[in-house]
Structure 1
């Protein structure tokens, strides 16, 4: 039996329309109606039929309270919360400051005392709606889930199980950004026909959930819904550095999307409200793009452009976004956390010789145990044995003398169980559950909400930056601590994790406030924290730990759908065993992102160094364009084993293309590739920017609608620049 949902359309209901020239929303509300998002659309699509969309419309604030639950249905889905159905609209505020427009809806539930302000935000001319809510209560109330990132009507009048597709990205360590596209039926969501018997729907869902402190260690905190009838794409991203959840479900012969931060069911979270304290929900952003007649690759490019510009708008601004300096890091396939003066000096000289601008000493600089440091870290004092004749300071001076700016690796959130710091800081400064500190792989996790934890890290960072004149810090995080912390007080662990994540990002911002110009790189087991909240604070992020240069292109090429290219730190690994085509292949991988040069560059001979020098010179010539560019994928998003991969970056009328050939001896892959240029026409002047020694063949086809490229070796790559017109 199904109980009818309250608030169905009646003659007292009104509609509020709001938006800008690109994106419009319509909200139904009234004395008997919870404010509901009836439609969200791009003006390029044409105005939707609002009347037919009304039945499946969901509240603008989807919320459920403990002891209240859902109404009209049950199950694991995070819609139809009873409190959400009782909310009514009070005041409405609109505001515009420059290109940014805001709509604020003030809601209240008279029965529970729950109050909320729902925020909608649009910035011209970006087709991205950002939304969040601030919640308070007249009395004590505990929330089970809450989101404003909910939209229905996605499968309206469609055979949605086959005509809607969901795009999701697995994000495995060292194989990040693995996108796949599936119909809803292929993901297990079917129209079971129960609506015609008075039921709401199937009660099933397609769900993606991330638990723990690695926000993207299994899936990116984003996805897309594609309507294959029109090509329309709706992209979503959850803007948190911790746990999150998203789901697609059927409801009244239609399909909804709900994206949110942590929940009670998935993450042991509880949102506690009282008259004196409130809660701000995790922001969710929705990009809506009409289908392009040129096909899904062109539509995907429009989605990538919208999300890139949105992320640039909401992030903390930093000079690094414009300068894009070349970084050499001594870790990957080089010192691998085992630095000494003897091993570093040749690398420092080689890095300076090829044109690196920053030199980062990665893990191990604090290690007096010859590799046994994993469970003893926390003091972050330089080793007394690894750096004779001047200590770590002498190495840093050598870096600066050679014309580069110095940096260090640090893992601030962890303290080894054998560290003296584990004994001097109180239990309350660490993650706890059930009266015990949480330990993982020989480490404790600091809780950055606690003043002792923050004071300890402030002391460490200020000492290192001031003592060594550091210009760069790489902050890593190599344990996933589980659902969170109860702080020794019995709070919900998911609440502790969410608040720690916010406190950690606040701390990183405060460090950069105290040390203007300091570049801080975010890293967590490769790309395990490639989320929008982290990207809004860190100037640059590591995207992978992949050590095989031949496996890195599909990671680098797909990364711009998750973060702006000028923030994506991509390894360019080189050493003396590689021929010039292999060197160029590895170097091209980073040229449309942030160059993180690595490997045993001290083993390069004069000719090999010239190959690297030429790549970095080409990068310096185009990096300002990279920082303005938006991504393009002429062949679509890359597959893990694709023999050819193409990544594009469009800067006004210039299109930069990185093309990799990854053929094997017996795979039968052709040595020539046709590269379509969706929505663009190329002129005849195609420049090969790198490498310049030739061997390739490039032709413009179909009156500028495509390129043909032949590469000379099974493992080879080229960076092209093409002048294009719409």
Structure 2
């Protein structure tokens, strides 16, 4: 470190950021670490700037498509920093400036009391005389240091798709996308230096290029590809050193375009979290003098307790930042008439007996799903006007809603606010500017047009719809769906399609904030064909997330077990859809799918036997006895993260120092099915429970050997599941 460089550490009592700056280097985050782990004494001559910017044609200072060592990032210099204290949080603002490019960047970091996590976002302001065209701005950029052998590091990444959400993989980093190329270059550099020295000794001219090495490395890059922010790659991931337990997890908080990149340089690994970019999202924005742009939020959490520990910090951070709502404490049970039931074809005659049956099993909220507005038997292309169907409800929708209340339940309803079907009578009433466009053409996908929530006519129509349903009909629960995507976005009133996408994403969030501010008593479920928009920017506003549209109860177990990686356990709307053709074991299996989060119940209750209904009622009664624990529980995976084809899947929920729960699903594979006992070797800090007991499900005895950490459950040739209570005393 040169004499001009300075260092300071900032954070709280759980997390520390070590920041270095100097006259000749950009400010950089040397490490993000748990309190108690010592700071590194390494300094860098070409550091990774805490802000990475591409603008006005200035991109990488290296080759490749890496968001590292950006030309403008390298040119930024420290101006000042200050800390402000909030209620339960503290914020650090670091001001940087580039004289050459005439811009100021303020990197803002926030840490929350009692949580080993920090958020980052950046505001860039044009202070020059010429326009500034931004093409990427990082939310957070830092070195990654686990202080272990990087060849041992594991990377945890996730992907989702319709009906197969939250598929997580844990792999050795070097065996995945990142391969070590540095040793080759170090050897080449050593050879080049030796050759240069020999040439100089012989009096020959030395080619300076032969003795220089460009900082180089591989990257692991993930990004969204449309307005469905979690429809493929997931914006969360983690890096774990199994030798030391050191771990680092991150998430980008964007309901549209986002990117994260884990990369390697000659001097170590870096992490960049970002919103939209030019390359990946067709994004740029033009700033006149004194105009500013603010990024989406990126978040990093750290732990020294392996993956379960850092997910615990993620969970704590999410509980700290989620919108306060009584629903998160009470966790009411919801029945929805869609999955494996009406499938978008509700009528008064169908609803009334199902409402009565739902009340008898102990349901507390009853949601009427899609189709309630449709007059012609095709609910999909007729969305958008949001007037109740007189064909389906001859006595009016109020008759059904009143019946829900009369049976002691809270009424809910389905909306897909951001679209209008091509067959909707409301299409011709909207101005052309109310629709999203590209190149002058109205965007259309799957028999729907896409609405521009920046337009006042659209906002007014949606506000009037919601206010009518709440104030006049007494709706207290909304299932907000989103079954489309916008591609790269709209180019109307935006300098680029990517910026148009970012603006309409933010307009949706602004609209949703307005709904919740006006109607704080209303519960919001966010859906999006299951969990195709299950990012934290959306989830922090929602009380419930439908975790999938998967209709096979056996496969749903995997989704139920994996979803707490992306969201709070109490937000996981896990479908439990018992039906008349199920055995009692199958009913128990599907009920446990829901009991590890929020039981999102569906199914033709009116067709079931008394024995089946008794079983469902018993499951929901048990859930009511434990839901206060689930509202505070921290997830853990003592048998490892579930693989999609695993025959045995497990999810733990640690609710206190003395108590927890463990769900185990066994789903034998056809010809290989066996009734031999299944033994699971459990691992992690949360498996030192003294005893277990079957709270619900399964048949036969469960054996737990604390010395070997082995759990044995009876074998079965058919799917069977257990919900176990764990006693840590």
Partner of 1:112: 101
Q: 1:11 aligns with which of 3, 9, 13?
A: 3
Partner of 2:59: 69
Structure 1 residue 123 displacement after superposition: 1.6
- Whether 1:281 and 2:295 are equivalent positions in the alignment is yes
Q: Contact 1:56 / 1:153 at 8 angstroms: preserved in 2?
A: no
Partner of 2:196: none
Q: Contact 1:103 / 1:121 at 8 angstroms: preserved in 2?
A: yes
The aligned runs of 1:335-414 (5 Å cut-off) are 335-371=342-378, 373-388=379-394, 390-414=395-419
Q: Contact 2:411 / 2:474 at 8 angstroms: preserved in 1?
A: yes
Partner of 2:202: none
Partner of 1:461: 466
Partner of 2:684: 678
Q: Distance between the aligned counterparts of 2:340 and 2:473, measured in 1?
A: 26
Q: 2:341 aligns with which of 334, 337, 342?
A: 334
The aligned runs of 1:485-496 (5 Å cut-off) are 485-487=490-492, 489=493, 491-496=495-500
Q: Contact 1:434 / 1:490 at 8 angstroms: preserved in 2?
A: no
Q: 2:238 aligns with which of 224, 227, 234?
A: 224
Q: 1:658 aligns with which of 634, 659, 663?
A: 663
- Whether 1:145 and 2:146 are equivalent positions in the alignment is no
Partner of 1:520: 524
The aligned runs of 1:613-628 (5 Å cut-off) are 613-628=617-632
Q: Contact 2:146 / 2:246 at 8 angstroms: preserved in 1?
A: no
Say if 1:358 and 1:234 are closer, same or farther in 2 by CA, change over 3 A. same
Secondary structure at the aligned position of 1:480 is classed as: coil
- Whether 1:473 and 2:478 are equivalent positions in the alignment is yes
Q: Distance between the aligned counterparts of 1:667 and 1:708, measured in 2?
A: 19
Structure 1 residue 183 displacement after superposition: 3.2
Cα deviation, 1:233-274, whole Å, max 9, x if unaligned, reads 211100110011112222115222212111011101113323
Q: Contact 1:677 / 1:706 at 8 angstroms: preserved in 2?
A: no
Structure 1 residue 201 displacement after superposition: 3.7
Structure 1, 133-142 or 534-543: larger mean CA deviation: 133-142
Q: Distance between the aligned counterparts of 1:668 and 1:56, measured in 2?
A: 58
Structure 1 residue 581 displacement after superposition: 0.9
The aligned runs of 1:429-448 (5 Å cut-off) are 429-448=434-453
Structure 1 residue 154 displacement after superposition: 4.0
Q: Distance between the aligned counterparts of 1:467 and 1:169, measured in 2?
A: 43
Q: Distance between the aligned counterparts of 1:104 and 1:561, measured in 2?
A: 30
Partner of 2:24: 32
Cα deviation, 1:649-706, whole Å, max 9, x if unaligned, reads 1111211111111113432554333352632465655332214xx7321233135945
Q: Distance between the aligned counterparts of 1:87 and 1:212, measured in 2?
A: 31
Partner of 1:41: 33
Cα deviation, 1:140-172, whole Å, max 9, x if unaligned, reads 2111111132222448784x4x43332110111
Secondary structure at the aligned position of 1:15 is classed as: strand
Query: 5+ residue gaps in structure 1?
Result: 1-8, 293-298
- Whether 1:482 and 2:487 are equivalent positions in the alignment is yes
Q: 1:215 aligns with which of 229, 239, 250?
A: 229
The aligned runs of 1:600-611 (5 Å cut-off) are 600-611=604-615
Partner of 1:96: 85
Q: Contact 2:588 / 2:615 at 8 angstroms: preserved in 1?
A: yes
Say if 1:319 and 1:153 are closer, same or farther in 2 by CA, change over 3 A. closer
Q: 1:552 aligns with which of 550, 553, 556?
A: 556
Q: Distance between the aligned counterparts of 2:364 and 2:562, measured in 1?
A: 26
Secondary structure at the aligned position of 2:358 is classed as: helix
Say if 1:148 and 1:394 are closer, same or farther in 2 by CA, change over 3 A. closer
Secondary structure at the aligned position of 2:391 is classed as: coil
The aligned runs of 1:554-593 (5 Å cut-off) are 554-593=558-597
Q: Contact 1:690 / 1:718 at 8 angstroms: preserved in 2?
A: yes
Aligned length: 700
Q: Contact 2:28 / 2:142 at 8 angstroms: preserved in 1?
A: no
Structure 1 residue 384 displacement after superposition: 1.5
Partner of 2:647: 643
Structure 1 residue 412 displacement after superposition: 0.5
Partner of 1:302: 309
- Whether 1:428 and 2:442 are equivalent positions in the alignment is no
Q: Distance between the aligned counterparts of 1:426 and 1:491, measured in 2?
A: 22
Cα deviation, 1:561-602, whole Å, max 9, x if unaligned, reads 100011110000111111111100100111120110011111
Q: Distance between the aligned counterparts of 1:490 and 1:355, measured in 2?
A: 50
Q: Distance between the aligned counterparts of 1:206 and 1:671, measured in 2?
A: 40
Secondary structure at the aligned position of 1:641 is classed as: coil
Q: Distance between the aligned counterparts of 2:527 and 2:415, measured in 1?
A: 10
Q: Distance between the aligned counterparts of 2:613 and 2:681, measured in 1?
A: 31
Q: Contact 1:207 / 1:245 at 8 angstroms: preserved in 2?
A: yes
Say if 1:137 and 1:362 are closer, same or farther in 2 by CA, change over 3 A. same
TM-score with structure 2 setting the length: 0.92
Secondary structure at the aligned position of 1:700 is classed as: strand
Q: Distance between the aligned counterparts of 2:349 and 2:410, measured in 1?
A: 20
Q: 1:136 aligns with which of 125, 136, 142?
A: 125
Structure 1 residue 490 displacement after superposition: 5.3
Q: Distance between the aligned counterparts of 2:399 and 2:344, measured in 1?
A: 19
- Whether 1:696 and 2:700 are equivalent positions in the alignment is yes
Structure 1 residue 360 displacement after superposition: 0.7
Say if 1:456 and 1:199 are closer, same or farther in 2 by CA, change over 3 A. farther
Structure 1 residue 478 displacement after superposition: 0.5
Partner of 2:185: 194
Partner of 1:248: 262
Q: Contact 1:131 / 1:283 at 8 angstroms: preserved in 2?
A: yes
Partner of 2:718: 714
Structure 1 residue 115 displacement after superposition: 0.9
TM-score with structure 1 setting the length: 0.93
The aligned runs of 1:40-59 (5 Å cut-off) are 40-44=32-36, 46-51=37-42, 53-55=43-45, 57-59=47-49
Q: Distance between the aligned counterparts of 1:278 and 1:149, measured in 2?
A: 17
Partner of 1:262: 276
Q: Contact 1:672 / 1:711 at 8 angstroms: preserved in 2?
A: yes
Cα deviation, 1:465-521, whole Å, max 9, x if unaligned, reads 22321011101010111001111x452111111121111112112112212210111
Q: Contact 1:681 / 1:703 at 8 angstroms: preserved in 2?
A: no
Q: CA RMSD in A?
A: 2.0
Q: Distance between the aligned counterparts of 2:71 and 2:221, measured in 1?
A: 21
Secondary structure at the aligned position of 2:702 is classed as: strand
Structure 1, 305-314 or 84-93: larger mean CA deviation: 84-93
Query: 5+ residue gaps in structure 2?
Result: 190-210
Structure 1 residue 391 displacement after superposition: 2.1
Secondary structure at the aligned position of 1:697 is classed as: coil
Structure 1 residue 324 displacement after superposition: 0.6
